[in-house]
Amino acid sequence: MIEKDRKILRELGRIKAEIGNLPCQAERFELWRKLNDLEPVRPLVWINEVPWHEMNWNDELTLRCEDPFCRGVEWGLRSEIYQWNHFQGDMIVEPVVYAGITGGPTSSYADYGIEEKRQEAAGAQDVRFIPVIRTLEDADRIRTPRVWYDRMATERNAAMLADIFDGVLPVVRRGIVHQWHAPWDQMIHWYGIEQLYADMYDRPQLVHRLASNFARALHEVLDEQERLGMLDVGNGNYRIGSGGLGVTRALPSRLEGGRPAAPKHQWGCSTGQIFSEVSPEMHEEFCLQYERPLMERFGLSYYGCCEPLHHKMRILRSIRNLRKISVSPWADVDRASEEIGTDYVFSYKPNPALLAMDDWQPDLVRCTLSDAVRRVRANRVEIILKDITTVRGEPQRLWEWAAIAREVVLENA
């Protein structure tokens, strides 16, 4: 290891340790715990999916390490410290470095035996997926991805981190704590939106065959991850689904006697974003009936992302372990508030487009957030700013958004 790299990381580790040992970290852990356990608490704010390529102010995010492994660690530290300094919301910084496993797959996106075909216009960002699922035989080409776990690389990386941060920060080994299981986020790449919508009417048996085959593969991947000991408890300072942190008393924080973790010790999640314009009945038939068994293998679950769900609570209530529900910028907030009540966490997503306007309008941000917070006063609320495509090269916009959001939630506490 290059000694210069080690010194850089140790100094960043000291900063992280200082932040992580502040008394407010324990206070925030308790706030997230109360929220996720559906106890009364003020709305909590968390910011994710940031356009980091526009954020480098005064070289705060400039990497200085040379070794590729060290640069990865450095990025994690610098981005965490940067967020703490500029748009922390209710984020938690822990005085620890986690050594994760080297292995996969860890999401729906893997090799399932079907290759997607794209059609891209020159110079455009829009991508059209060309349907490759035409027959039942096409749907039967789905295979279960290879689950792999490189124990030697996992041990090597943990040892390197322990050497780097010796005397600065404890290094804790951690397996997979959360995964994104969203079958149609992947399958739509093979099917195409127009073809899917037509086939739900014209060839429903083909849609069902594809969905059932893909769900089987997801179950088998999870089974193998559990068998290999790749999973870890999901109660902690981790993102859950498209929402906030997963601190809760409903899941263990550790297992006695070195017992391996199982899905029941974790949060699950799923979403049917492509079904935003589909009726609740068809959402249930072609989407949720395949997601529900997978989600219910977990201790708790989160549902939704960008799709409006205010009119689909009847089918969502059938998920026995559901705890959080996404309320996207396209949802009817008033109806969602009434339908969700205090039975679930109301995972509210403000519209990130306000950060991308030609002219930054902080008064509009304040007015919009204040109105939303007043309308969801009766719920258990997390405010999750995500999908931030751009801040128009002005990172201060995001800093100011975070400051306004904190003022708004405290004023309405």
Q: Angle formed by the axes of helices 183-191 and 204-227, to 10°?
A: 130
Indicate if the pLDDT at residue 236 is higher than 70: yes
**Span 258-273, pLDDT tens digits:** 789 999 999 999 999 9
State residue 301's pLDDT score: 98
Pick left, alpha or beta for residue 236 (phi over 0 → left; psi -120 to 50 → alpha; otherwise beta).
Answer: left
Indicate if the pLDDT at residue 124 is higher than 60: no
Mean per-residue pLDDT for 85-91?
98
State residue 256's pLDDT score: 82
User: What's the one-letter identity of residue 362?
Assistant: P
State residue 121's pLDDT score: 63
Helix/strand/coil for 411: helix
State residue 14's pLDDT score: 98
Distance CA 349, CA 286 (A): 26
The answer to whether domain 3-411 has CATH 3.30.1130.10 is: no
At residue 122 the predicted structure's pLDDT band, cuts being 50, 70 and 90, is low
Q: What is the DSSP string of 159-173?
A: HHHHHHTTTTS-EEE
Contact at 8 Å (CB) between 133 and 188? no
**Span 295-323, pLDDT tens digits:** 999 999 999 999 999 999 999 999 999 99
State residue 196's pLDDT score: 95
Indicate the Cα dihedral angle 374, 375, 381, 382, nearest 10°: -80
In the chain, where are the structural domains located? 3-411
